[in-house]
Structure 1
Amino acid sequence: MCADDHDDDHELGRRALLMTGAAAALTLGSVTFASDAEAADGEQRTRTIRGNLPTGSPDYVYVPVEVPPRVREIRVAYTYDKPSVPAGTPGNALDIGIFDAHGTELGGRGFRGWSGGARSEFFIRADEATPGYLPGPVGEGTWHIALGPYTVAPQGLSYEITVTLTLGEPGRTPRPAYPPARAGGRGRAWYRGDCHLHSWHSDGRRTPAEIAALARAAGLDFINTSDHNTNSSHPHWADQAGDDLLIMLGEEVTTRNGHVVALGTEPGTFVDWRYRARENRFGRFARDIRRAGGLVVPAHPHATCIGCAWKFGFGEADAVEVWNGPFTPDDEVALAAWDNMLVASARHGREWLPAMGSSDAHRSPDAVGTPQTVVLADDLTREAIQDGIRAGRSYVGESRHVSLTFTASGGRGEQAGIGERLRVAEDTPVTIRLEASGVPRCTARLVTDQGVLLTSDPFPVSGSGVVEWRTTPAYAAYVRAELRHETAVGPLPGVMAALTNPIFLGPEQH
């Protein structure tokens, strides 16, 4: 039975925009529901809200909903128009989420879910919620539907929201269970992982069970969950973990000025995304990620999608994703920019930023574990894997078939591996050795602070081979390795098959 149907019109026009100026958010007038203590359990109350957003709308528009007592479920459905636009002009795209009576203050105390543009409706009740949303009681008070006009066509964006409340006793919220922070490792060893993955809790199309099965098939030892702007998937991974697969929990924090992976946070950690670089707020949330036991990893920093390019700088980063999914020109730019940062670190004796790669897999045919970061860690635990990533003791390979050993040796038995420093005098002869397998007909390149100083002949069809090169710390402040596929585009390097973090040579600069 439906009752209390009503339409509200919310027009966000030029005058409202002039009043808000450069504000990142705007709150509209409230939508109210009549309270009826005599109503039977299961009765419903429905309201429909219509509005229009012009170009230049704030990043977030909040629609308050006054929720009366004795509500068992809240359900929200929405639509918006998608008019034709000229070629090269963004059309309409409207994201959606919701905050409960704890409010919309930055930090997310009232956060109850976000689906971006992946769903046209969602529900929340105590015992269950739509993926992307957090189950729990639908408490009395002012809730806020959060609209995110990602892009707005020149004609404006007209939307319609339908809110349905179902009355009744709230029920019980199950206690969440989370995957363990340890798996059955091999002691100090190289472990393979994919730290950027999306399930149906954001805009992915795979369940946690499907992702875990694909991770095992790809030969992975660990994964990190990273759904957009929500922690709702965290309790749904416990059944997928095992001695053979460590599952870390996180989030892809998707701001309007770039995306960052919160890697391996404490279960249930939520990180807010509602800010831009010009607001100078990212440092606060980077520190929140670390306080929650996670790493801060800017994702696909040179991606060309709207809002994807990284604008916050790298001062708060623990690592950077230079290879995202199949290797593309975006990754080539990210790799070059990262290498420039290595040069600056070597020149000034500063800490350096390790590189990593992940699949960013959402749905078929996206391949989980392409690429994968291979980490030297003391064990298969969350903290040990994070320590290896933070220290740069890692390389990135396109699949489980790629294996590398990369070392630098001095004349008196000194040796250093990936992410380490060979501390020898500036004029000491150093031998760089790369052993690789799983890279048929690939070419090895040794890259230093001067650029590419060695390009090998193609590896044999067997895919295994060794490359050696001799240098000194005076000639090369660091050396890193790349393995590239064959190319048919003149002098351009081929698509990446593997890359390493650097080995630094010589005494530390101060």
Structure 2
Amino acid sequence: MCMDEHHPQHASRHRLNRRGLLVTSAAAALTLNSVSFASADERGTERRDDEETKVVRGTLPTGSPDYVYLPVEVPSGVRELHVAYTYTKTPVPPGTQGNALDIGIFDERGTGLGGKGFRGWSGGARTEFFIRADDATPGYIPGRIKPGTWHIALGPYTVAPEGLPYEVTITLRYGTPGTAPKPKYPPERAKGRGRAWYRGDCHLHSWYSDGRRTPAEIAALARAAGLDFINSSEHNTHAAHAHWADQAGDDLLILLGEEVTTRNGHVVALGTDPGTFIDWRYRARDNRFGHYAREIRRAGGLVVPAHPHATCIGCNWKFGFGEADAVEVWNGPYTPDDEVSLQAWDNTLQSARGGRWTPAMGNSDAHRDPDRVGGPQTVVLADDLTREAILAGIKAGRSYVAESSALSLDFSAAGGKGARAGIGERLAVDADAPVTVRLDVKGAPGCTIRFVTDQGTLFTSPALPESGTGTVEWRTTPAYASYVRAEVRRAAQVPGLPGPLAAFTNPVFLGE
């Protein structure tokens, strides 16, 4: 036991090895020894407003499971729970991953997958958090601290060869709890323009996960970027949902969601019902993703794998695309992994001929300055500026992606007896019928236009003039090209490789 001048601190040490793993179902988890605090009777009636702190120290070995749970026996009469943690970032040789430890918490309702016990997650973005009835650290859910077994969730993201030494400090503050706020959510409708093209950014992070901007700052940047809608997508928490209502308005529709951040890739749960939590504690080998994809859809949302070929640890998408409603192939500033994502997505379009296909979209994934909200943005043809209409447009592939609101496209194919099809549609004409593909573009000075088909790029235009405005037509038949999509590209930066994207469309399919 150690003491400070205010309250006693009890330190315990956990020594772990592989034999200490508790395996439940397909996913491995490790549960530490529980931490207990004094009951109300033990504290005495004269100490109703005091606090008590305990410290747990230990070392996680290499090969630790994805989640380690520290049970905390919480007595009655607690008004606030506060947790702080530290861990040692052991030096490692070049090419070896060092220590990284995430944190979150589940309440007395338990840690069961998809259960109701989730009370917050901050990953590695914070070193401490608190929960009270009337307030909580961003990323955590306010509410009463009810008695029972709570679980602090530690996520050893990477572990150095020497292990991961950690220290968790738990403080309970006793007294009369405050009143839990009633959540207020943004409306599902804004003042639209009827059936029109609406611009949005569906992958954004505020200080409710690992971002540095407030919802108010993000909303202001979204309006400045010419956006009509945005989607809240914090890592592994829905805590931000109740903090967006004041930022919505007739000019900005705010959808609610989550970036479900697993160890085998990230997926944006786009436009779910307010207060929806989607669990993330599984890998592809656990065969659980289909269940949670269906949970997203049951909550009214879309399943959108994010940055599927990103190079960060745990970011590369391993679950396949059978459950995807759309896929984010352009994430933030255009980089080589976006090019890989674009080409991999294009490779799926021919196999979808005559059946279901997966539309593409682009989002900023903005976290902090200088990340640009709306760079890129998905431009959706929707019946109105409502949650239902926007999600329907995205799912149908009636959309294109642009680097900013300064760039706009009009892409279509015409043939037969006056038949015409736009982005995401099918031009149902005979295999040998002449088809004219047309792209009108504004806001793309110096860019080239490419028409991409199932055979590859069959047409590339000269560079557009300084006005950035131009019209390009190309003729083909469904027998020669089963689909056509358009790309607007900047000048090449590497000889022999295409330049960065300025915009691209979903395809128009050709033929019966």
Structure 1: distance between partners of 2:180 and 2:188: 24
Size of the aligned set, in residue pairs, is 505
What's the secondary structure of 1:24's corresponding residue? strand
Structure 2: distance between partners of 1:479 and 1:488: 25
Match 1:393 to one of 395, 398, 407: 398
Match of 2:344 in 1: 337
Query: More deviation in 232-241 or 39-48?
Result: 39-48
**Aligned residue type for 1:261:** V
Structure 1: distance between partners of 2:23 and 2:209: 33
Shift of 1:20: 8.7
Match of 2:364 in 1: 359
Per the normalisation by structure 2, the TM-score is 0.97
| 1:361–1:396 Cα change, 3 Å | same
Identity percentage of aligned residues: 72
Match of 2:243 in 1: 236
Match of 1:469 in 2: 474
The reply on whether 1:500 has 2:505 as its aligned counterpart is yes
The reply on whether 1:264 has 2:271 as its aligned counterpart is yes
Structure 2: distance between partners of 1:287 and 1:249: 17
Match 1:66 to one of 63, 69, 73: 73
The reply on whether 1:324 has 2:331 as its aligned counterpart is yes
User: Contact between 2:27 and 2:282, CA under 8 Å: does it hold in 1?
Assistant: no
Q: Write the deviation string for residues 184-216 of structure 1: whole angstroms up to 9, x where unpaired.
A: 000000000000000000000000000000000
Match 1:29 to one of 29, 33, 42: 33
Match of 1:460 in 2: 465
Contiguous gaps of at least 5 residues in structure 2: none
The reply on whether 1:48 has 2:52 as its aligned counterpart is no
Question: What are the residue-to-residue correspondences of 1:112-191 with 2, within 5 Å?
Answer: 112-191=119-198
The reply on whether 1:434 has 2:439 as its aligned counterpart is yes
Shift of 1:10: 1.1
Per the normalisation by structure 1, the TM-score is 0.97
Match of 2:19 in 1: 15
Structure 1: distance between partners of 2:48 and 2:131: 17
| 1:19–1:392 Cα change, 3 Å | closer
User: Contact between 1:2 and 1:43, CA under 8 Å: does it hold in 2?
Assistant: no
User: Contact between 1:2 and 1:45, CA under 8 Å: does it hold in 2?
Assistant: no
Match of 1:413 in 2: 418
Q: Write the deviation string for residues 89-129 of structure 1: whole angstroms up to 9, x where unpaired.
A: 11000000000000000003100000000000000000000
User: Contact between 2:22 and 2:31, CA under 8 Å: does it hold in 1?
Assistant: no
What's the secondary structure of 1:6's corresponding residue? strand
User: Contact between 1:437 and 1:464, CA under 8 Å: does it hold in 2?
Assistant: yes
What's the secondary structure of 1:273's corresponding residue? coil
User: Contact between 1:114 and 1:132, CA under 8 Å: does it hold in 2?
Assistant: yes
Structure 1: distance between partners of 2:67 and 2:335: 32
Shift of 1:500: 0.1
Match of 1:422 in 2: 427
Shift of 1:2: 4.0
Q: Write the deviation string for residues 298-320 of structure 1: whole angstroms up to 9, x where unpaired.
A: 00000010100000011111000
What's the secondary structure of 1:447's corresponding residue? strand
Q: Write the deviation string for residues 116-148 of structure 1: whole angstroms up to 9, x where unpaired.
A: 000000000000000000000000000000000
Contiguous gaps of at least 5 residues in structure 1: none
User: Contact between 1:40 and 1:168, CA under 8 Å: does it hold in 2?
Assistant: no
**Aligned residue type for 1:487:** A
**Aligned residue type for 2:170:** V
Q: Write the deviation string for residues 31-72 of structure 1: whole angstroms up to 9, x where unpaired.
A: 000113414343101000001101100000000000001000
Shift of 1:19: 8.0
**Aligned residue type for 1:449:** D
Q: Write the deviation string for residues 226-272 of structure 1: whole angstroms up to 9, x where unpaired.
A: 00000000000000000000000000000000000000000000000
Query: More deviation in 10-19 or 447-456?
Result: 10-19
